[in-house]
Each structure stands twice: as C-alpha cells, then as structure tokens.
Amino acid sequence: MAEKKSTHHDEFMKLHMFKEEYIPKLEELGIKSPKELAEALKDDEKTKEIHEHLKGAGPKTIEHWKEDLGVSEPKKEEKKEAPRTRKVKKPEEPKEKKAEKKEKAKEEKGGEKEEEVKIEEEGEYEVKLKPKLSKEMLATLKKRAQIDSRRPAFHRQEWHRRKRLRKVNWRKPVGDHSKMRQHYGYRPNVVSIGYGGPKETRHLHPSGFREVMVWTLKDLEKIKPETEAARIAHQVGMKKRIDIEEKADELKIRVLNRSG
C-alpha cells in the first residue's frame, strides 16, 4: 500500500532541509500546515518542543524555517555601553638607572645579596604532549576533520517509528520494497564508500596519536612516545592507575584518559 501524503506535503517540502519524516511527527504535536508551524515557531516553548521531537532538525534549520515562513523575532533593545577608559602606562626608566638604584640599595643593606623569590601560581595550564608527524600526515588529519564535519548522521530503517531503533547501531536496510535500500531521495542516507575518511588516519586519536591499551607498567615500555599514546584499561584500579600515570610522565608518554 502506498503511504498517504498530507494536503500540505508540497508546501512543507519547500522549507530548507525539510524531510518527509517530519510531517507525521509535527501532526503528533498538532501542527498540520505551514501556517500552524509559523505560529508555533513564534513561541519559544513550542520551538523547544519541536526541536526535541524532531531529532535531526537543529537550531540552524529551525532558523531557516523561520526565514522561509516569514517569522520575525522581536527586536531586543540595545544596551548603551559605558564609555571605555584607556589606561596610560607610565614611561619605563632606562636600564642604567634601574641598575644604579639596585647598587645603592645593596650598599645601604651592607652588601647583602637579595634572594630572589619565585612565586608558582597554582592551576596553570599545562600544554599537552603532541605527536611528531610529517606535513603530509597533518594535512590528511585536517582533511579527515573536514569530511567528519559534513558527514550525515546514519539512522536505522524506520528509526523514527520505533524507539528501540534510535539507540541501536546502524544496519544495512533489507527488504524487497525498501525505499531506503533503493536509495530514494526522500529517505535517509545509507552508509557507503564515499563517506569514508583517509585510510592513513583511520583509528587515530583526534590529537594524531595512535592509541595503545595499557594494563600494567611493563606495557608502557612498548610505547613509542613520539607517535603513540597510552589509554589505561577501565579494569585497572585507582592505585595502579596512579602508578601508571607517574611512570608515563617520567617517560614523557601522553595518557589519553587521566584520572585527574
């Protein structure tokens, strides 16, 4: 049997990035026409309900829908900023005068040497270790990030009808009459070769390191700190985990899942 299309099907499909699967979900919320959708988008609470109910329609797509439907948001009153004041630095004294003042202070104290006191600030940001990669490898990592940003989310067949399919790994659609298997344009995207990333950067951490599982202190000796990083297994207890992290710091090995 062919699926029944709503009377406003063509009007809905004219909206930016609108999918046919959104129509039955909007009908569940009581929205059956684009005019009702425009009225709902004027209210912030209803827009939140639409965003939560339509998984896949992000805030940017909803903003495009508002532009297509002519929904104008109320202008916010601009706050007047206070006039900014510029701090003028005092002219620094020349180095010769500073040296003369220090010598005079030493003579007054009887030639006693001043002890330099170093203040160590707590909570300073420590730069994480980075791998030593070639220029070609860095370029492929950037290319992988670009491909990941434009790769769509792959969903199971009829995931919008059954809740149990929303949190399940993707599977190939099977069925003689499956429109998703036949790659119809109004059905979700299917996993294929064209969506893959570069072969050289597969199974690499976003930082560029290759992950190596660690269970004991001896496993750290096999790691190459220039290109590999350690990931402590979740079965390891806290006492042994702290020992592994201290040993890794001595060997200058990066730990991807540190305890603190």
Task: Give residue 2's pLDDT.
Answer: 43
d(C-alpha 197, C-alpha 84), whole Å: 49
Task: Give residue 78's pLDDT.
Answer: 53
Neighbours of 50 (CB within 10 A): 21
d(C-alpha 178, C-alpha 175), whole Å: 5
Q: What percentage of residues in the chain have a pLDDT greater than 70?
A: 78
With bands split at pLDDT 50, 70 and 90, how would you rate the model's confidence at 5?
Answer: low
Enumerate residues 6+ apart whose C-beta is below 8 A from 33: 7, 8, 11
As a whole number, mean pLDDT of residues 46-66 equals 75
pLDDT in tens, 63-98: 877 777 777 655 455 555 666 666 656 666 666 677
Model-level pTM? Answer: 0.46
Q: Across the chain, what does the average pLDDT equal?
A: 80
As a whole number, mean pLDDT of residues 135-154 equals 92
73: tokens are 């948001």
Q: What percentage of residues in the chain have a pLDDT greater than 90?
A: 38
d(C-alpha 163, C-alpha 50), whole Å: 17
With bands split at pLDDT 50, 70 and 90, how would you rate the model's confidence at 250?
Answer: very high
Reported for 39-48, long-range contacts at CB under 8 A and 24+ positions apart, including other chains, are: 41/65, 41/66, 41/69, 41/71, 42/71
64: tokens are 């495009």
Q: Is 119 a residue whose pLDDT tops 50? A: no
Task: Give residue 26's pLDDT.
Answer: 77
Task: Give residue 90's pLDDT.
Answer: 62
d(C-alpha 113, C-alpha 214), whole Å: 51
120: tokens are 């160590």
CA angle 10-13-15, nearest 5°?
125
With bands split at pLDDT 50, 70 and 90, how would you rate the model's confidence at 176?
Answer: very high
Neighbours of 146 (CB within 10 A): 11
CA 16 to chain centre: 24
Task: Give residue 171's pLDDT.
Answer: 92
d(C-alpha 148, C-alpha 146), whole Å: 5
Task: Give residue 72's pLDDT.
Answer: 62
Between 86 and 118, the higher pLDDT residue: 86
With bands split at pLDDT 50, 70 and 90, how would you rate the model's confidence at 40?
Answer: confident
Q: Are 83 and 71 in contact (CB under 8 A)?
A: no
Q: Is 115 a residue whose pLDDT tops 50? A: no
| Closest CA relative to residue 68, chosen from 44, 92, 35 | 35
| Burial class (CB within 10 angstroms; exposed 0-12, middle 13-18, buried 19+) of 254 | buried
